[in-house]
Amino acid sequence: MPEPCTRCLILACGNALREDDGVGPWLAAWTEGRFRKEPGVRVVSRHQWTPELAADIAAADVVLFLDCAANGTPGEIRIVPVEAGGESPSLATHQQDASQLLQLGRELYGSSPHSARLITVGAGSTELREGFSDAVTRALPEACRLIAITVNGWLSGEEIP
């Protein structure tokens, strides 16, 4: 069941044992530490996004998704708005993308956040090993800065472009 009064939900996914794929959980841990005194911020990190998260998404005012991007330039940071859309996701699947989760929350709970963003960092490698490629390591400070700007903006009531 979703926690009440979640103003800002941060959802990260990735596997820390698959090199750059672990950037989502790393950023989630950073975010949790950075906003630990903010009662309206909740951080959830999983290996993958699953349909069960739709309830939490539907109960949040805003959602920030964090992940790596296998199709991007290594270390490239992107922040994009996420809209509910596409065909209804299948409940039988184990993994959903951000737009499918928004859609599922809307369909099942009749609610969706008023704003959602996805921050990705381009993965250089997803080989079996811990740690990050040099490109992702260099991108971490900027990714953290963008997370802080986005979350602080939402908490202060600013509309993030």
Average pLDDT over residues 104-115: 95
| Full set of structural domains in the chain with CATH | 8-155 (3.40.50.1450)
**What pLDDT is recorded for position 86?**
59
Report the C-alpha gap between 57 and 19 in whole angstroms. 28
pLDDT in tens, 5-49: 589 999 999 999 999 999 999 999 999 999 999 999 999 999 999
The whole-angstrom distance between residue 161's C-alpha and the CA centroid of its chain comes to: 17
**What pLDDT is recorded for position 93?**
41
Neighbours of 110 (CB within 10 A): 8
C-alpha angle 56-57-58 in degrees, rounded to nearest 5? 90
pTM, 2 dp: 0.91
Grade residue 2 by pLDDT with cuts at 50, 70 and 90: very low
